Each structure stands twice: as structure tokens, then as C-alpha cells.
Structure 1
């Protein structure tokens, strides 16, 4: 695992702010008639104007897999993650998950938000989005110095299972360590027993990202080799933040305010190194 110095975490915070700005800009433009490719162009402009580099664009090409062709992932309705932006036109009621990464001075930030195009198509879809967001913050709140990574996993699963609906926790999709690379050890599963895995220590950075469905957890990858969809066609939702835990508390590197407002609302300690 990669343990960062305070200076390196500050660089990750700068990358995280770029990600937050790109997500705010793109989600603000989600409306009927816009294409996912147009959203990608908006994100590209924000990242470029900040002097940052997209984390996702051409990701994977060094392994001979064919790199990801977009700056953001835009996943709609039954698409769980890794949706390729293009000429798809968004329609009223669609559930759109936008995932974005940026690099500043060699350090990554990674986050995702889900929004509806206009009004949610159904009450069930609206609740799915709320529960996924709540699960993200339950996971963030479980990250404590000296604790274990799967404490986060158990908190996410516990929140999800506390609801009346039997949501699917998307299989084979997990959060991850992040820093000088976008995907690093340790994995951060979205379900499991607490007290397992590496200890949470100062200098660790984690991308926490619950991905829930209205049906089964089973997923499939489309012929584009990127887009993951629910096997049963049920709708899915994705929320994500990159965090670190300091001696003073939690620091959400990809939230515009560092997570201060939400952490206060939840009664959790806010511990930025600087902001």
C-alpha cells in the first residue's frame, strides 16, 4: 500500500477539487436532449482549464487492452459503471451516474455522482439514489485510524440491508486505494464482515464507491469491453468519494468543501490538513 506524505495528500486534494468542479459542471448540465458526449466535453474543459490531466482518458492502453475513450464515465439507467460517453441522448427521468478522475502533479482524485434528468422516472429509482448516497457516507463514517478496511465494507452493507428494499450490491465491483495511480491496493469491498483487511493509517487514501441495483447484483460487460450493465436490466446507481483519515478526523478530498458540511450533519470529525 502507498502511504502519502502530507504534501502528497495536499496534491491529491488539489486533484480532488478539480474532480469536484468537473462533476458539478457536468451534473448541472444534465437535461433532456443533451448527449453523454457533450457532458464529456464539459468535463474535459474543466479539467484542462485547471491545468490537470484526465485520469480516465486512454486508461488501460498500457496493458494493450485499448484505452478508455472518454474523460468521464457516463452510465445511464441499467448501466452500472464505465459507460462510454458518445451520441446517446438523455431523456426525462433517466438516472445518470457520472464518474470522473483527474491528475495534478502526478496524484489522482476520483469521484462519482448520480443525478436524474428532470424528475425521477419512478419513486423506486429516486430511493435507490438516496440509499446509494447514504451508503457512501456510512462507509466514509466508518473509516477510522486503527480500524480495518472492511469496517467500511460492513458499514455500507449494513446501511443497504437496513432498508426495506432488497437492493443488489453490484458483484465484483469494489472501491480501491488511490494515489500515484488511480487503482491501487487495498480493495474496498461494498459488503463483508468488519475487522478484516489492512488497518486504516495516516497517509492512506481510499476511493469508497457503493454501486447498487434495483434487482440482482449480477452484472455483465457489453461488447465495447467497458460498459458494465445489470444482467436483469434493473436500474443501478453509483456514488463515490476519495477520502483520507488524519489525526483530527475525516477529509473528503473530492468534495468541494472537503466534506465539512456533510460530516457536521452526521456528527463526524472533520480533519483537513489544509484547505
Structure 2
């Protein structure tokens, strides 16, 4: 069962969400050629400690990973898209880096992700830029569907419609999720769905929406580290995510610095 959040509880989640957004902005700015992923992990640890936040990833041991996870951020490069275990890797110009970050502050969680190209201009015509932009447009479409009395299928369909229109295949094994007091709560939010189907959205619904896909396939393979998931054909990947609340006034993005 999903727990609907009060206005006061959503405000608390927004405090966490602003911090999540600040960390992602800080790390994305630091993600330059020559920077080691372990340096970004260390910076994230410092920011978590200084804020008095609690990492949702540290010691996390779900069935789909080889736990416990002993880092505070997921860093996935190029064909890696989900659950990237920070490792000794020096970023190079043109690397596609996904940063996925979730913490709890005063008992309330927020979760977000963004993908950036390292050390190069974001040429709109470049395939990697178009891939990233596709997930960002899908995220915006999903947010717009987070309206009272809409269905969960409306949100999933909004994501999948963008992917299909842009020529990408969609994996439904991993997607968005409910969250609040913990990182993963009901319901699962697949990135493909049918409008008018599924649970009805009510004010107080809080979801992490996270469209992700690869250039060439919807299939994933796992690294020997037991965590990092890559596109099965080695093609580039991208992932965009926000924590969003349904309110009487419409959707509210919680993982923003605004």
C-alpha cells in the first residue's frame, strides 16, 4: 500500500530534494576530463556528512544487487546506465556519465538522477545528446501527467510514448517507484504503459519518475561487480529522474534547487 503524504510531509521531502539537486549539480560541474569517479564519490560523501543526511545507498542490499552497496552515489559511464558502482575510472572527453543519488534528511527521502556528456559541447545533433534529451523530455511528460485523478498508466504511457517516438526500446524491469520514508515503496512505475490503467493518482502521491534507455537495445547485462547494469549491446545509455508529488494544484517537482 502506498502512503499518501500530507502537505507538511511533502515540504519535508522538498527539503531533502533541494539537497539532492544541489549535490547532483555540484558533481555534474566537477565531472571533467581527468576526474576519477572515486573523487566524485568522495565529494558526495563529504556533502552528505556535512549536511547531516543519511545515504539511502550505503549498506543497501536488494535482491537485484550483490550487496551491501558501500557507496553513497551510483556513477554509470557510457553503456552503463543503472546502479553503477563507483570505481577507479578516469573520465575522458565524450564520456556519458549518469549520476544517481538518494538520501534521507530528518526521515524523508528524495531521489534523482541526471546524465551529462563530459568535456564536450552538447551538440543537439550528436546521438548521445539526443539520447539524453529524449530521457529528459520523457521525464517532463511524466511529470505533466502527475495530475489528481489521472492513472499510473498515464504516467508510464507518457514516458513510453516519447521513447517510441524517438526510436528507442523500453525496458520495464527497472523503472520509477514510490518513495517517502524509505527509498523504494509501492508502486513500481514502468517506463511503458497504457493510459487509463492502473491506480488512481491522489494528492499526496509521491513518485520517483526515471525514464532511461539505450541507443540500441532494451536488454541489460550485469558487471562482475554484481551491481552495474549495462546495455546488452554496448550502446550508449542515459537516465533522468525526479522525485515528484501530486498536489491539488498539480505536479510538484521536489528535486530542484528552485
Q: TM exceeds 0.5?
A: yes
Q: Which residue of 1 is the match for residue 35 of structure 2?
A: 34
User: Paired residue for 1:152, among 149, 152, 155?
Assistant: 155
Aligned twin of 2:191: 190
Deviations 1:162-216 (A, max 9, x none): 23xx212234111000011101101111011111111111111000000111001
List 4+ stretches of structure 1 deviating above 6 A.
61-64
Q: Secondary structure at the match of 2:86?
A: coil
Which residue matches 1:140? 143
Question: In the alignment, is the contact (CA less than 8 A) between 2:151 and 2:195 conserved in 1?
Answer: yes
Alignment match, 1:123: 126
Normalising by structure 2, what TM-score? 0.94
For residues 173 and 158 of structure 1, the distance between their equivalents in structure 2, rounded to whole angstroms, comes to 17
Count of equivalent residues: 255
CA deviations 1:105-156 (Å, max 9, x no partner) are 1111000011111116981111101111111111111111011111011111
CA shift in 2, pair 1:143/1:30, >3 Å: same
Aligned to 1:244, the other structure's residue is in SS state strand
Relative to structure 1, is the Cα distance of residues 47 and 62 closer, same or farther in structure 2, using a 3 angstrom cutoff? farther
Bigger Cα displacement from structure 2, 116-125 vs 211-220: 116-125
**Range 121-130 or range 218-227, more displaced:** 121-130
- Supply the distance in 1 between the matched residues of 2:253 and 2:190 (Cα, whole angstroms): 19
Equivalent position SS for 1:169: coil
**Residue 21 of structure 1 corresponds to which residue in structure 2?**
22
What secondary structure, in the 3-state scheme, does the structure 1 residue paired with 2:71 have?
A: coil
Question: Which residues of structure 1 form unaligned runs of 5+?
Answer: 258-275
Q: Within 2, Cα distance between the matches of 1:193 and 1:103?
A: 32
Report the Cα distance in structure 1 between the residues aligned to 2:159 and 2:115, rounded to whole angstroms.
17
Q: Gaps spanning 5+ residues in structure 2: where?
A: none
Contact 1:56-1:68 at 8 Å conserved across structures: yes
Q: Is the 8 A contact 1:221 1:228 kept in 2?
A: yes
1:101 matched to 2:102: yes
Q: How does 1:46-57 map to 2 (within 5 A)?
A: 46-57=47-58
Partner of 2:72: 71
Higher relative contact order (CA 8 A, sep 6+): 2
- Alpha-carbon shift at residue 86 of structure 1 (Å): 2.1
RMSD of aligned alpha carbons: 1.8
SS at match of 2:35: coil
CA distance in 2, matches of 1:171, 1:34: 33
Counterpart of 1:112 in structure 2 is 113
